[in-house]
Amino acid sequence: DEEFNDLCFEFGLELDEITSEKDIISKEKGEEKAKGASDTVLYKIDVPANRYDLLCLEGLVRGLQVFKERINLPRYEKIIPPEGEGQRLIITGETVHVRPHAVAAVLRNITFTKERYDSFIDLQEKLHQNICRRRALVAIGTHDLDTISGPFTFTAKPPSEIKFKPLNQSQEYTASQIMDLYRTDSHLRHYLHLIENKPLYPVIYDSNGVVLSMPPIINGDHTKISVKTRNVFIECTGTDITKAKIVLDIIVTMFSEYCEKPFSVEAAEVVYPNGKTHIYPELAYRKEKVKPELINKKIGISETPSSLAKLLTRMCLKSHVIGNGNNIEIEIPPTRADIIHACDIVEDAAIAYGYNNIQMTIPKTYTIANQLPLNKLTELLRLDLAAAGFTEALTFALCSQEDIADKLGMDISATKAVRIANPKTAEFQVARTTLLPGLLKTIAANRKMPLPLKLFEISDVVVKDPNTDVGARNYRHFCAVYYNKSPGFEIIHGLLDRVMQLLEVPPSEENGYTIKATEGSAFFPGRCAEIFAKGQSIGKLGVLHPDVITKFELTMPCSALEINIEPFV
């Protein structure tokens, strides 16, 4: 286990944990539920999101074997059948508005076992969640070719006209009934929204009118593959042709090793609505050139060109030196769609060299780090506010709309609040525009504590600002509240004077601070003042309105102060 852990680390992966189904269930649901579960050891391996070729056992083992130099990287080949004998997939014009793209391929004379079959299905599921963006961009269908006869047609029809027996069901349903059937299905209901409101649903037929699948929801039961299946027809439909090609390449390269002629794939022809044809899978190999000194410089090592080429070859990027060692020519296989830029090649060279083997050096540039002035001021204030007898609170930056508007007697449009587009809970709908609600909620949660409660917080608030590049701006606010049997306005006023004393701002109109009576929706009439300093209004202090106090489920009077501290930096 330790050796395997080290190997994963060297290869740039992480062995997350070694566990079993029993352990997982007992952790999540307790010992009782885990009684009948399997004890088989499971390795949980973290694979980076760009390495689709490592998402199944076949690809992972192949990658590690090449890395350990036990095998050479296999050469994937595409076999184009004689004229008129290959499989064809015809796309009709109706698909344009639902899922315009489709690609296809055939795995001939494949031998499945229970493990290989499970891995095949599991890889499709992982790709669906990952590169296919939960089937929104691409949906994969795999069918037993011996149960159907081509050419196949990919079209779109009104839901009432599509009728077939879905996978693992016992009777036929129309497309509309299928939607209702899977509305309660824990797995499939997440994909219904992709086509639910479209006038036409995508569907694939064979030449006899047998339904292969209704992507991206479900395959037909007729073409179901099993361990006994010998010939697999694979189709990927989607809204993104590039992703569809990558997905098809990954599936065929991973599982063609089980074909009678290993690593060979039979090509299929796709006919577009405009009559053009294209042969898939592309299985494209391409060559890139990278200078050895670039690799050495970026990583911080000094290897010879030939050893760099060897390192890259171990990472499934077959390389050799050309032109007196001035260049390395790298062949990028169809499994490595993640190689987009020279940096990706440099990264693989660094992984093969071993991050831990790179010598640490002191940077050539000499810099002196400094604290951000605003944060420095915040730190200094926090200490002195605590010394003044107030307790610091840290509350969430997100809150509900009621907290910053209704409960404080304001309208939500007047707050300039930034909204979350798809909030997960009612508690986190908007970014806070004031720190007061957070502190009042903290008091409400600590009502059992002995009085008086004196709390403060110095944190950022967020307001909309059309003049910034992101449309919003942060302000560092300081807020304090005093909660007791009497309002204690003088305590809060005293705290303001102490803060100004610390900031060396004298109480004067000219270049100091002043307070003027005002009205605020959250404050008691006649018990609220606005604070002016540095020639601008920086905040308010006062006794909170009884309505505000009851809305936050409090029962005692409370006074509060909130100012913006940015002008004092």
Q: Is 329 helix (H, G, I), strand (E, B) or coil?
A: strand
Report pLDDT digits (tens) over 200-241.
Answer: 999 999 999 999 999 999 999 999 999 999 999 999 999 999
> In terms of domains, do 156 and 211 share one?
yes
The percent of residues above 90 in pLDDT, for the chain, comes to 72
User: In which band, very low, low, confident or very high, does the pLDDT at 447 lie, cut at 50, 70 and 90?
Assistant: confident
Q: Decide if pLDDT at 22 tops 90.
A: no
Q: What pLDDT, on the 0 to 100 scale, is given for residue 150?
A: 79
Report if residue 147 sits inside a domain. Answer: yes
Structure tokens at 489: 């306005």
CA–CA gap between residue 227 and residue 120 (Å, rounded): 11
> In terms of domains, do 141 and 266 share one?
yes
Residue 482 CB neighbour total at 10 angstroms:
26
Q: What pLDDT, on the 0 to 100 scale, is given for residue 38?
A: 81
Report if residue 367 sits inside a domain. Answer: no
Tokens 């309105």 label which residue?
A: 545
Report pLDDT digits (tens) over 10-19.
Answer: 998 998 888 8
Residue type at 375? N
CA–CA gap between residue 50 and residue 344 (Å, rounded): 11
The string of DSSP codes covering 113-138 is -HHHHHHHHHHHHHHHHTTTTTTTSE
Rg (CA), the chain: 33
Nearest to 306 by CA among 286, 329, 285, 287: 329
Report if residue 222 sits inside a domain. Answer: yes
3-state secondary structure 17-53: EEEEHHHHHHHHHCCHHHCCCCCCEEEEEECCCCCHH
Provide the number of structural domains found in the chain. 4
CA–CA gap between residue 395 and residue 384 (Å, rounded): 20
CA–CA gap between residue 106 and residue 87 (Å, rounded): 8
Q: Decide if pLDDT at 28 tops 90.
A: no
Tokens 């499970």 label which residue?
A: 118
Structure tokens at 125: 């599921």
> In terms of domains, do 353 and 274 share one?
no
The answer for residues whose C-beta is within 8 angstroms of residue 368's C-beta and 6 or more apart is none
Task: Work out the average pLDDT over 79-102.
Answer: 91
> In terms of domains, do 38 and 114 share one?
no
Report if residue 66 sits inside a domain. Answer: no
The answer for residues whose C-beta is within 8 angstroms of residue 491's C-beta and 6 or more apart is 454, 482, 559
The answer for residues whose C-beta is within 8 angstroms of residue 472's C-beta and 6 or more apart is 418, 431, 462, 463, 464, 465
Nearest to 111 by CA among 219, 220, 226: 226
> In terms of domains, do 213 and 334 share one?
no
User: In which band, very low, low, confident or very high, does the pLDDT at 422 lie, cut at 50, 70 and 90?
Assistant: confident
Tokens 């020519």 label which residue?
A: 329
Q: What pLDDT, on the 0 to 100 scale, is given for residue 36?
A: 76
Residue type at 226? S
> In terms of domains, do 295 and 326 share one?
yes
> In terms of domains, do 395 and 508 share one?
yes
Last residue of a domain, one of 357, 386, 409: 357
Structure tokens at 517: 């009576």
Report pLDDT digits (tens) over 353-374.
Answer: 999 899 988 888 888 888 999 9
Averaged confidence pLDDT in the chain: 91
Last residue of a domain, one of 323, 357, 391: 357
Burial pattern 8-23, b for ≥16 Cβ within 10 A else e, equals bebbbbebeeeeeebb
Report pLDDT digits (tens) over 259-311.
Answer: 999 999 999 999 999 999 999 999 999 999 999 999 999 999 999 999 999 99
Q: Decide if pLDDT at 25 tops 90.
A: no
Report if residue 57 sits inside a domain. Answer: no
Last residue of a domain, one of 280, 310, 326: 280
Q: What pLDDT, on the 0 to 100 scale, is given for residue 81?
A: 92
Question: Which strand (E) or helix (H) includes residue 348?
Answer: helix 342-353
CA–CA gap between residue 464 and residue 112 (Å, rounded): 59
Its domain, for residue 336, covers 286-357
Q: What pLDDT, on the 0 to 100 scale, is given for residue 115?
A: 93
> In terms of domains, do 310 and 416 share one?
no
CA distances from 249 to 58, 242, 245, 283, 316 (A): 14, 11, 6, 6, 15
Structure tokens at 152: 């196949």
> CA angle, corner 133, sides to 127 and 138, nearest 5?
70
Report if residue 163 sits inside a domain. Answer: yes
> In terms of domains, do 239 and 91 share one?
yes
Is 35 or 383 the better-scoring residue by pLDDT? 383
CATH number at residue 384: 3.30.930.10
CATH number at residue 238: 3.50.40.10
The answer for residues whose C-beta is within 8 angstroms of residue 128's C-beta and 6 or more apart is 134, 135, 138, 139, 140
> In terms of domains, do 103 and 150 share one?
yes
CATH number at residue 309: 3.30.56.10
> In terms of domains, do 342 and 378 share one?
no
CA–CA gap between residue 247 and residue 131 (Å, rounded): 8
Report if residue 84 sits inside a domain. Answer: yes
CA distances from 269 to 83, 162, 202, 277, 482 (A): 11, 25, 19, 7, 76
> In terms of domains, do 246 and 302 share one?
no
Tell me if the pTM is above 0.75: no
Q: Are 20 and 41 in contact (CB under 8 A)?
A: yes
Task: Work out the average pLDDT over 126-134.
Answer: 92
Question: Which strand (E) or helix (H) includes residue 309?
Answer: helix 305-314
Q: Are 217 and 192 in contact (CB under 8 A)?
A: yes
Task: Work out the average pLDDT over 33-61.
Answer: 87
Report if residue 51 sits inside a domain. Answer: no
